[in-house]
Structure 1
Amino acid sequence: MRIATFCFVVTIIITTLPFTTAQTYIPSEILDDYWAFYGYPIIEAGIIGANQFEKGDNVTLRVSLVNAGGRINFESTKVADTPMKKALSTAEARLEWDVGNATGITGTLRSTSDLVEVKSGDQVIDSLAMTRKSEDPMEFVIKIDDHAPAGEYVLQLNLNYQYQNNVQVDAEGWDPDLGLKGFRVAKSFVSGNQTLPLTIVVKQMADFEIVSSNADMRAGQKDGTIEVVYKNIGEKTANNSIARLSLFKPFTSTRDQAYIGTLNPGEEKNVTFKVAVDAEATPKTYGINSEIKYTDIDGDTIISESIKIPISVNAAGASYMIPVLILLILLMAAGSYIHKRKKA
């Protein structure tokens, strides 16, 4: 099974990855080339630790890299028939063994779903030798949507790197005791690219939304009512559920909590809150945060993400006290005038 998988990966990399030559040193003349080594990095990636998260989580993924590539084959390309050439051939062969090492690895993480946001930029690892694991992991921050449905989400890790393609050697001379004199090396590199899948899992849990609400009040109202219909849009049942408000000025309440009880997936329930509004409240639409505290199937107490309830506050109703007072004053004045006329 391992051999079949390895061959399949090699075939994919050979046939699909674009490579462009990037010389790191180009000598003024062609140096000797005694060997042709064939190979390239094959990088594998995995998430360190658990890959299961909850809706709304903001987490750091630690991604470890392993270079499972290496030397596929090699062959002699030039006969070494003198002591100096044999020394050059041996020196080149030692350097050619690095053909499967990856250098300058840049990782870019992308999400395949709008429900998972990647908030980190590119991550870099200097080098990764064959059969070795990265000493430090790449770290990416992701944000899972507050209402992401439970299930698997695939992230794509795009890796760009370089690896050695060829080595050429030369020397000014050779000494039986000192070895090669004036030894020179020219290395060429090519660019490689791999896209690796990383899977995260969003856990099943209760989740809530407001289906409808009715909250139309006026400034100065003491007996305002907020009616809200909550729905469990999650995958798990919420037990002992209690909806509660987070109030702020100009709102106060003597009953800012409402018992829901058991709310199964897909089920809706209506609750009522009692709220008072300050007389000085500015007429406009407010948004009051609500949340649901519940017990899950494991007996753990959980508080949901905040859900806003729109509340419309209108201007205070017109007061009839002033017109009545004016009318009374006019009537009293008229009565006084008539009384004076009669006496006259």
Structure 2
Amino acid sequence: MKKIAHLNGAFVFIALALASIGAAWASENYIPSVSLDNYWTTSGSPQLDASLAGTNEFGRGETVTLFVDITNRGRIMGFKADKKAETKMERALADRELDYERERTTALGITGTLRSETNQVEVKSGDQVVEALRSGEKSREPLRFTIKISNRAPAGEYPLRLELVYDYQFNAEVDATDLDPDVGLRGFQTSYWYQRANETVTIPVIVKEEAYFQITEAEADLRAGEKGGLIEVTYRNTGEKVAEDAIARLSVFKPFSSTDDQAYIGTLGPGEERAVRFKIDVDSDATPKPYSINSEIKYTDHRGGTVISESMKIPVEVRPARRSYTLPAVAVLILLAGGGATLYRRRKGG
């Protein structure tokens, strides 16, 4: 790793090149190629914590963004003299190194990765980065992670793992060519050792208990051009809470229309199901094929609030129009009448 020079104690963010780390990578230490004087050995390191900004309770089937604040609670635990400073220049160097050693608790290049250990919660976003956090600081902007909760996720708590990887200054060394009483240290330079660290923080996500609906059965008798075709649908409450005053509603589109697109379900407890009927008109030019009609349930939840469920698709099939026998029957009657008239004239003429 290249030696980095610093003047007047300026804090410099170190860009590390993997190609120059060499064998030091195995020990997770980034060691400079040139060693200078080391007056202090410092104990302490960054300590990162994470917390959600906002609620962590969501409904099944939701895709939401988590806002995660990162805080550095690292502390310097102590300093130990590594080399005795005897001359004025050595004492000046020791004081300067002590200033740099205090940066040991700064976390650099923080990368956050959110992971789920269950297929009920899927993490949709990639890594998030914070450039640096000194001790006592909180990230200016929260990390943003998008998650999708399965439609079938049981209510309960789902712990997500936030893996935080970062670098921090493991050691600082200093040197100078001489000490000028008026200017101070001349030819001052520093070199740093950096170490890779990682921490894991648990982020709990809660899937709320609520009523939830699924279509368990659907039957339809629909033909092109017919009015009042019947659709019978069975809804089941697969959630954990009771749904009261539930009403099933259809969202119809061409080639369908209806004046009977709502059906009263009533109270539906967890695990209960109920069948309802709708009447549907089908346009005469409807193409015979399978269709899907959207439906939803409006109900009162256990808190007394009005809730509309997510949309559920009802599979239906439109069959061809019934064959009409009116025209063939009329044609037969005309033929019979014509034949009868001919026979009558023949007999009369004979």
Residue of structure 2 equivalent to 1:13: none
Q: What are the superposed Cα offsets for residues 129-179 of structure 1, whole Å, 9 maximum, x if unpaired?
A: 123222322122223233432211111111111111111111121112322
Instruction: Within 5 Å, give how 1:1-344 maps onto structure 2.
Output: 20-23=28-31, 26=32, 29-342=34-347, 343=349
TM-score (norm 1): 0.88
Q: Unpaired segments of 5 or more residues in structure 1?
A: 1-17
Structure 1 residues 70 and 321: CA distance shift in structure 2, 3 A = same
The alignment yields a C-alpha RMSD, in angstroms, of 1.9
One-letter code aligned to 2:28: T
One-letter code aligned to 1:137: P
Q: What are the superposed Cα offsets for residues 36-68 of structure 1, whole Å, 9 maximum, x if unpaired?
A: 223222211111222222233333221111212
Residue 314 of structure 1 deviates from its aligned partner by 0.9
CA distance, structure 2, for counterparts of residue 190 and residue 327 of structure 1: 99
SS of aligned partner of 2:209: coil
Residue 339 of structure 1 deviates from its aligned partner by 4.1
One-letter code aligned to 1:113: T
The ranges of structure 1 where at least 4 consecutive aligned residues each deviate by more than 6 angstroms after the TM superposition are: none
Residue 255 of structure 1 deviates from its aligned partner by 0.9
Q: What are the superposed Cα offsets for residues 212-266 of structure 1, whole Å, 9 maximum, x if unpaired?
A: 1111321112121111111111111111111111111111112110111111111
One-letter code aligned to 1:74: F
Q: What are the superposed Cα offsets for residues 258-303 of structure 1, whole Å, 9 maximum, x if unpaired?
A: 1111111111111111111111111111111111111112221111
SS of aligned partner of 1:71: strand
| 2:35/2:191 contact within 8 Å kept | no
One-letter code aligned to 2:267: T
Structure 1 residues 205 and 57: CA distance shift in structure 2, 3 A = same
CA distance, structure 2, for counterparts of residue 299 and residue 30 of structure 1: 71
One-letter code aligned to 2:281: A
Q: Unpaired segments of 5 or more residues in structure 2?
A: 1-25
Residue 203 of structure 1 deviates from its aligned partner by 1.6
CA distance, structure 2, for counterparts of residue 307 and residue 230 of structure 1: 10
CA distance, structure 2, for counterparts of residue 32 and residue 19 of structure 1: 22
One-letter code aligned to 1:132: E
CA distance, structure 2, for counterparts of residue 340 and residue 174 of structure 1: 144
CA distance, structure 1, for counterparts of residue 66 and residue 211 of structure 2: 24
Residue of structure 2 equivalent to 1:6: none
Residue 91 of structure 1 deviates from its aligned partner by 0.8
One-letter code aligned to 1:129: R
Question: How many percent of aligned residue pairs carry the same amino acid?
Answer: 49
Residue 340 of structure 1 deviates from its aligned partner by 4.9
Number of equivalenced pairs: 324
Residue of structure 2 equivalent to 1:10: none
CA distance, structure 1, for counterparts of residue 90 and residue 136 of structure 2: 31
| 1:19/1:192 contact within 8 Å kept | no
